[in-house]
Each structure stands twice: as structure tokens, then as C-alpha cells.
Amino acid sequence: MPAEIRDRFLNPHLSVEAMPPVILVVDDDPKVRAGLQEALGCEGYEVITAGTGAEATEILHGEPPDLVLLDLMLGDMSGIQILGLVKEKFPWLPVVILTAYRETDTAVLAMKLNAFDYLNKPIQLDRLLKVARQALAESHAKRDSAGGPESPAGLLRDAGAVPSRSPVFKEIYRIVEKISRGHSSTVLIQGESGVGKDVLANLIHRASSRRDAPFLEINCAALTENLLESELFGHEKGAFTDAVNRKMGLLELGHSGTVFLDEIGEMSLQVQVKLLRVLEKMVFRRVGGTEDIQVDVRIIAATNRDLAELVRQRVFREDLYYRLKVVQLRLPPLRARPEDVIPLAEYFMGLFNERFGKDFKEIDPQAKEALLAYHWPGNIRELKNLMERTVLLEEGPVLLRRHLVLAGEDNFQEAFPATVGALLDKPFPSEGIDMEGIVRQLEEKLVRKALLATGGNQSRAARMLGLNRDKLRYRMRQYQIEWERKDS
């Protein structure tokens, strides 16, 4: 290790700001290590190298670097194991995977396990430097904003969660707090795409006694049946044509931690049978193996599909369904919690201010009105993407209505007018409109307005809308409108 880096690690009074970023390169090829050390050194970075997983682990048990460049194929252990150690010990520390083209599938798995990015070998210098700059910028932002690891605020930030004003979400957080006190209860999270199921799963893990063990996730819809089985349970050498070495699966790598199975409704019946055995006995066998492996993991599953309906269709096992839903959480879509739209937008605006070096300080009232009027079919993910694009491309300090490009707009700033008359008075945008979405939005707004005007009196609100009370209640359920009943 270079003397100046050793001094930085051993002298806590040395100014961190005065020191260049430290990059750890983990690769078993000495030529690759030397080449990266020279290239990054010429750019002013300090570089530490490790030729084995054991060396890397020893370094990571001390003062962490600012960035890790990690080869997937090490002689003594898997790069995935090193990635798990990094994310367990330093959630903010970015890891860039170094991989040969033939290892792309494993690199994709690494991305699912929260690697920052991956670089194919032979490594292109300009691509390496660009990714390193991006990763270091994100590392510093996350490190500076991190709270204490045991504090509730720190746990929320580590998991990527944000406060919510929604009564429904406050209740969900209350349940999550209770779940986290337990150790092994299986959790099923249901909700539309983009509502934050993965964020909630991470929050459960971070707030639990398993927080110091790995949190590993996999999307069941993204892999074929055979590949999903191999990634979950691992395989023995020779189990199939490409199985040249024994491989540990996520259940084994996640021992003592949490395994998050996203889109579990897409899992095949064959894999469901094996997962059921894990939930019942915490035992499984690698593909091609004959020995039982005992593990201790918490399983959190998520889906945007109706599992009860899939059970009726006989494409999802009923016994597995009931094993999964020990604790069941349903996340409402963003359109059902309008009180969270502006706080979330402001939160994401601040986040991307830091990332892109911008200075947006507030959202203009007309822009807020447009955000509240929009239907958000893509939920929180769509709002986050919108704010990322807006902060990146526009200049502040005030985020204006003209800065926002909502789905269905073609420089047509009133894509979802407040009344039918306003719609008919304007030309259609070039690609047309979402008529059903506009009608749903108008109907929901009218129901909310009538309830607000009547102080929540459903009988009076129904009369105001020309409906009977049953039809009003049906629409309240349809749009997930919760209101204290005050019927006279």
C-alpha cells in the first residue's frame, strides 16, 4: 500500500478533503492490476490493489476506499461474495464490476445485487474514467448524507425510503417496524410496478436484526426457469453443460440475511416446489447436488399480479401462496396518495441537485398543479425519472411548468385539463390523448371534491354528484379514496 494512503488510514486527523480519492482494484491478473493502477494514477487517483478475495476482504475490514473495481472471477472466492461484503458493510460504497464478455450474465446478476456498473474487458480507458467519475460523485453524496446506522432516519436513508404524509403509508411503516422486530417472518409485498416494493423490502432488512448480513435480490421475471433455479440454489460442477465449477446460489450467499424475490408471480411451478421446501424447512439442494444445505434467511417476495387469482388459475401453488403471505403488505399507487406527490418531487429534486450539481430551490405553483393533476401510471418510479430528467436538462433556481414533460405531452402543456370544456377548446396533441385516463382522473377529482365540500358526508356527496351512495362507495374503493364516514 502506498505510504500516503497508509498515512490517510492511520492518521484520523489528516484532512480527507485534501486527499485524492482512493480506488481499490481487485483482480487476479497482475497485468490488469498494473494497467489500471497506472491509468488511474495518471488521473490523480490513489490506487490500492488486491490479487485475491482474501486480500480484498482484509482491506475492506479497515478504512474503506471511495470506489471498488472488482473482477468477478477470482481464484479463491467469487466476486459476488466480495460485492455482498461491500454492500453489507458500506451500503454507500460503489462497486464497478470487471468482466469478460462471456461472463455478461453474471455481470447482470451483479447489477441486480446493487453493483454501480460493469466494464467489459479489455477495458476502454475513456469508459473507465467516465464510470469512475460518476461512481465517485455518487459515493460522496451518499456518504455525506448518511445518518447513524442505528437511527430511524439513517435506516430510512440507507434503504432509499422517504417520509410519507399518506395515512395508508404511515400504517405500512408501523407494520414494517413490527416486522423488523421479528427475525424470520416471510413477507409478501403487493402493488403496481413502480410503487417502491424493492425499497420497502430493503427497509425491512435494514431495520431488522439481519441488517449486518447480506440483502440479495433477484427478479424472477428476468431469468429463464433453469437460470433462475441456478441463481437461487446454486449448482454442482457438471450439473449441466456450462457448469464447469461449483457455484453457490443466492440462498446460500444470503445466509443470516434477506433474499428478496421480485415478481414472484412469474416463477415456474418447478421452482415454486423447491422454494416451498426452503420456506418449510430452510433446507435445499444445489442443482445436481445430493446433499441438503441448511440456511437461515428471511424471504421477502413481491408481485404486481394477483396471486390469489393465479392460484385459482393453477399457475401458482396455493401452499406456497399461504407460506409467503405470513405478513402481507399492499402498497397503494401514487395516484391514491396525492398528498405525497409534492413532497416526493421536492425530495427527488434535492437528490438530483446533489448528483448533477444543480441549484433548484423550489417548484413553481403551476408546476405543482400539473404534478398533482397527472395520473402517474408509472407511480413513484415515473416521478423519480421525471425529476431526474428535469433537473439534469433544465436550470434553476425555480422548477417551472414548462420544464416538465409529462407522458402524452408534445409541448402541449395542458395534457390533462381540469374540465371537458377546456379539453374541447384545445387542439389534440399530435399523438392523441389517453381518453380513459382523463375520464378516470376527472371522475376521481370530482369524487374527492364532493367529499371535501361535504366534510366527508357520503350521502350528501353522492347527491351532489347525482349518484346513489353505493355507486359513490364503489368509486371510492376503485380510486382507493379513504375518508371518514359522516353520513346523516
pLDDT digits (tens, 9 = 90+) for 22-44: 899 999 889 999 999 999 988 88
Domain span at residue 465?
Answer: 419-488
Residues 162 and 226 in one domain: yes
Instruction: Using alpha carbons, select from 67, 95, 206 the residue that is nearest to residue 146.
Output: 206
pLDDT grade, residue 413 (50/70/90)? very low
Q: Does residue 93 fall inside a structural domain? A: yes
Task: Please tell me the chain's helix, strand, coil percentages from 3-state DSSP, rounded to the nearest 5.
Answer: 50, 15, 40
Among the candidates 332, 357, 380, a domain finishes at 332
Query: In angstroms, rounded to a whole number, what is the distance separating the alpha carbons of residues 45 and 454?
Result: 65
Q: In the listed set 345, 372, 407, which residue is the last one of a domain according to the structure?
A: 407
Question: Tens digit of pLDDT for each residue in 86-136?
Answer: 877 777 788 998 887 555 565 566 666 678 888 888 888 888 999 998 888
Give pLDDT, residue 101. 57
Per-residue burial over 405-434, b if 16 or more Cβ lie within 10 Å, else e, is ebebbeeeeebbbeeeeebeeeeeeeeeeb
Q: How far is CA 336 from the centre of its chain?
A: 21
| Summary mean pLDDT of the chain | 80
Q: Which long-range contacts (CB under 8 A, 24 or more apart) does 56-65 make?
A: 56/24, 56/26, 56/82, 57/82, 57/85, 59/24, 60/24, 60/85, 60/86, 60/89, 60/90, 62/9, 63/8, 63/9, 64/89, 64/90, 64/93, 65/22, 65/23, 65/24, 65/93
Same domain membership, residue 140 and residue 166 = no
**Of the candidate ranges 229-233, 240-244, 453-457, the one whose mean pLDDT is the lowest:** 240-244
pLDDT tens per residue, range 130-150: 999 888 887 766 654 444 444
Please tell me which residue, 37 or 449, carries the higher pLDDT value.
37
- CB neighbourhood size of 52 (10 A): 15
Comparing C-alpha atoms, which of 323, 278, 322 is closest to residue 297? Answer: 278
What confidence score (pLDDT) does residue 7 get? 39
Decide if 413 is inside a domain: no
| 125 and 29 fall within a common domain | yes
Judgement on whether residues 160 and 136 belong to the same structural domain of the protein: no
